[in-house]
Amino acid sequence: MTDALNRDQTDIKAAASPDPDETAPVDGPLLLADRSSIRAAGVQLADLARRELLIVSRDLDPDLYDQRPFLDAVRRLALATPRTPVRVLVTEPRLPVIGGHRLIELTRRLGSRISIRRVADDFRDRVDSFLVTDARGYCLHRVADRQRARMELDAPREARRLRTTFEQIWEQSDGDSELRQLYL
């Protein structure tokens, strides 16, 4: 499994780096410096998820989370896992709702498998966003920087820390009225 993770991380590094000599297997975090490599990392992590996918995002950035490869990976996970394997926290749900975000539409169709909540007021000032899979891999955007992120496919300590943060926010958050309207 470690060899597969190294190959996957190498593939993302190749997408993130214009220099083919910089595609050796990576130990530790991979720094992503452009939108296409961040998008590829999100898809890769979602594809690798077998039990759980957690997302914290200000507005469900459509360039990352409203793309067909990502949505296909989310759908596969949701249908393959009996409990609610995909949970999403959104700080500003209005924009994705108005914009017809396909992840929200997928949530409407697979509501018992995908759950979305508006971030509780106590946490609305958070400026980071992240995606965590299986308490093992993650992609973290500090200060919600849309151009840079850090990602690791096999980092259980950091992934568990982010998962704990997610759980704390999730427990205090509720479904937003705009999000609930989708289910009517």
Residue range 107-162, pLDDT digits in tens: 888 888 999 999 999 999 988 999 999 999 999 998 756 689 999 999 999 999 99
**Mean pLDDT computed over 21-30:** 60
What local confidence, expressed as pLDDT, does residue 182 receive? 46
What local confidence, expressed as pLDDT, does residue 83 receive? 86
53-57, 126-130, 139-143, 176-180: range with highest mean pLDDT: 53-57
What local confidence, expressed as pLDDT, does residue 172 receive? 95
Structural domains in the chain, CATH included, are: 2-181 (3.30.870.10)
For residue 49, give both structure tokens.
Answer: 């998820």
What local confidence, expressed as pLDDT, does residue 177 receive? 61
Give the C-alpha separation, 129 to 142, whole Å.
7
Which segment of 89-93, 99-103, 130-134, 145-149 scores lowest on mean pLDDT? 145-149
More confident residue, 137 or 99: 137
pTM (global) more than 0.75: yes
Q: Residues of 33-70 as b/e, b for ≥16 C-beta within 10 angstroms?
A: eeeebbbbbbbbbbbbbeebbbbbbbbbbeebbbbeeb
> 131, 12 in Cβ contact below 8 A?
no
For residue 126, give both structure tokens.
Answer: 């958070």
**Mean pLDDT computed over 10-24:** 43
More confident residue, 47 or 10: 47
What local confidence, expressed as pLDDT, does residue 176 receive? 64
What local confidence, expressed as pLDDT, does residue 170 receive? 97
> 183, 108 in Cβ contact below 8 A?
yes
In eight-state DSSP terms, residue 29 is P
**Mean pLDDT computed over 41-53:** 96
Q: Is the pLDDT of residue 30 over 50?
A: yes
Q: Is the pLDDT of residue 24 over 60?
A: no
What local confidence, expressed as pLDDT, does residue 143 receive? 72
For residue 181, give both structure tokens.
Answer: 């309207």
Q: Write out the DSSP string of 115-177.
A: EEEEPPGGGTT---EEEEETTTEEEEEGGG-TT-EEEESS-HHHHHHHHHHHHHHHHH-B--H
